Amino acid sequence: MTLITIIGRGHGGTRAMSHTLQASGVYMGHPLNVSGDLLPPDDLYEACRLLSPHVTWRGGLSWDFSALHTMPIPQRFIDLIDRYLVNVHNAPAPHKGWKIPETTLVFPWIVRLYPEIHYIHWVRNPRDNILARHLTDDLADFGIAYPAAGDFLREHYPALAEQAAAQGADVLAEVTLRLQRAISWQYQYEIVKATPKPAHWLRVRFEDFVINQAETLRTLAEFLGLPLQAIPVRAEAVGRYGAVDGVSYFDFLGEGMHEFGYAIPADTAAGATQPTAAVNSPHSQSSTTQSKAKEQQIMPPRRNTRKRRPNIILFGIDSLRADHMSSYGYNHLTTPHLDRFAQEGALFERNFSPSIPTTPA
């Protein structure tokens, strides 16, 4: 029997791997959402909140994960994981697994509970990864301490903060959101890096899967010991940051990008202070960070002199994860509040939705 899980931040392209495994006859649990995540997620989310108090935040972008590798794993955590994976464990399929990005947040204890399973570490260029919203953008929803993005922006990137504010509240909000996502990416990079790797471990870049799927599938098939089916991929999913306005890189991402083989932006790399393992860059970058921030591209304001007509945005019911709206879990909110969803919807309507109206035929 082969048991498989996928480690990687949300919006990192992990759904491509989940869909590949499903198409190849691997049982990935039931029910699944359109991203191939095993639902309902509440038990796993609660497990994240049980682990997080044992991570020590040192300030800035530095966390100490050492206690996670030696302390006894609480029985409550084990029970939650068992309950989340109950239909995976009980399935008679010879090849099975699960995927949900939040597994990354509990990776140190998952690898201790399941040292023999196959782990696929799925990575994506953070410049693309931070462009879209994901549940793990706000790590505090999972009990994880981290610097407030707005404060971090003003302290470490004051020129960028000033320029964004001059463009308006919406631009500043988007820059702050992207920084928050970058911090989330960095945290998940750090927790994986700090965890001793299991016997069966393979890192796969989303970009390689898209650009050279056949070769990547051969590597994966050899690792898993089973044939894999190709799935449709879209080349435009790689390098989306190049066609999007606004900042897509913060210097503290450089260490992980270098490790994963991603190019550091030439216009910002020249003056960068290399991140250190202990501090992860911000505390030692006051002057270079400010000079680099001046080079960051600010999103230009979108102005339209024509009178705007109403736009109608239709959402398929399967395009909204129920947990995004706190439909699961009755004792606490499992996700960001609905007003945040509404605010981002308003931001989309003002800045990104087309001005062509939708009218009845």
Q: What is the pLDDT along the chain (361 residues), one digit of tens a residue?
A: 799 999 999 989 999 999 999 999 999 999 999 999 999 999 999 999 999 999 999 999 999 999 999 999 999 999 999 999 999 999 999 999 999 999 999 999 999 999 999 999 999 999 999 999 999 999 999 999 999 999 999 999 999 999 999 999 999 999 999 999 999 999 999 999 999 999 999 999 999 999 999 999 999 999 999 999 999 999 999 999 999 999 999 999 999 999 999 999 975 533 333 333 223 333 333 333 333 433 344 444 333 344 444 445 454 444 444 444 333 333 334 444 444 444 455 444 444 443 333 333 3
Name residue, tokens 């030696």.
70
- 18: helix, strand or coil: helix
Residue 127 lies in a domain: yes
Whether 350 is covered by a domain: the verdict is no
pLDDT for 42:
98
**Which residues form the domain of 121?**
2-295
Q: Phi-psi region for residue 326, left (φ > 0), alpha (ψ -120 to 50) or beta?
A: left
Q: Is residue 343 part of a domain?
A: no
Say if 116 falls within a structural domain: yes
Residue with tokens 């736009």: 311
Closest by Cα among 60, 85, 120 to 279: 60
pLDDT of residue 266: 77
**Structure-token pair, residue 329:** 């879990």
CB 228 within 8 A of CB 280: no
Rounded to whole angstroms, how far apart are CA atoms 216 and 226? 14
* The model's pTM: 0.77
How many other β-carbons are positioned within 10 Å of the β-carbon of residue 28? 24
With helix as H, strand as E and coil as C, how does 59-109 read? ECCEEECHHHHCCCCCHHHHHHHHHHCHHHHHCCCCEEEEECHHHHHHHHH
In a domain, 27, yes or no: yes
23 occurs within a structural domain: yes
In the chain, the number of structural domains is 1
Residue 32 is part of a domain; what is its CATH number?
3.40.50
Q: Does 333 map to a domain?
A: no
Tell me, rounded to whole angstroms, the distance of Cα 249 from its chain centroid.
Answer: 15
| Residue 20 located in a structural domain | yes
pLDDT of residue 350: 43
Query: Residues 299, 345: contact at Cβ < 8 Å?
Result: no
Q: What confidence score (pLDDT) does residue 337 get? A: 45
Q: Which two tokens stand for residue 252?
A: 């503290």
